Amino acid sequence: MQPTHNTLSENIRNPTSNLLNKHLAAAIDLHGQLKQAHWNVRGPNFIAIHELFDKIAADAEIYSDQIAERAAALGAVAEGTVQVAVANSFLVPYALRIADEKAHIFAIAAALAAFGQSAREAIGLASALGDADTADLFTELSRAVDRHLWFVESHAPPR
């Protein structure tokens, strides 16, 4: 940990920083998965889905930045390289050879759902550690990811 005048104890900042870095890896992975889908989607609704994936990818990049800056504010090192993201992301690896829009919608919806679930769990963990600000960040991320999941799933045919 870097020296800081942050008044949270190191006993709070250390585990919170680990939680943040776990989600930083996943947010970087999520951004990459969204760009993969954005570049390769094909189908009758191409332009709408192509643009939606690009918008969500831009937001995922913002999530990465917010998570990394919170870790740095706590005195931690934000572990945001691609190599660290590959090693530490909890998301299922993205299938590279899919092109069909339905397959991309399914894969992106699954990635968003997994990230959202983990963010909701992180709210409770950060709260239990006594870091309300990090819990608030994860609340904001969870709300945004749920909204994106709704938009993506709206492109799937009704069951």
pLDDT tens digit sequence for 39-96: 999 999 999 999 999 999 999 999 999 999 999 999 999 999 999 999 999 999 999 9
Mean local confidence (pLDDT), 114-133: 97
How confident is the model at residue 139, as a pLDDT?
98
| Tokens linked to 19 | 């939680």
Share of the chain above pLDDT 90, in %: 91
- Residues 31-49, buried b or exposed e (16+ Cβ, 10 A)? bbbbbbbbebbebeeeeeb
How confident is the model at residue 99, as a pLDDT?
84
pLDDT category, 158, cuts 50, 70, 90?
low
Please tell me the pTM assigned to this model. 0.95
Mean local confidence (pLDDT), 13-26: 97
How confident is the model at residue 7, as a pLDDT?
77
Long-range contacts of 118-123 (CB under 8 A, 24+ apart): 118/22, 118/23, 118/26, 118/90, 119/23, 119/145, 122/19, 122/23
Domain 10-153: state its class: mainly alpha
What distances in angstroms separate CA 159 from CA 24, 48, 153, one per listed residue?
34, 21, 11
| Among candidate residues 156, 141, 143, 62, the one with its CA nearest the CA of residue 109 | 156
How confident is the model at residue 9, as a pLDDT?
86
Rounded mean pLDDT of the chain? 95
Q: How many CB atoms lie within 10 A of CB 84?
A: 15
H or E stretch at 145: helix 132-153
Identify whether the C-beta of residue 37 lies closer than 8 Å to the C-beta of residue 53. Answer: yes
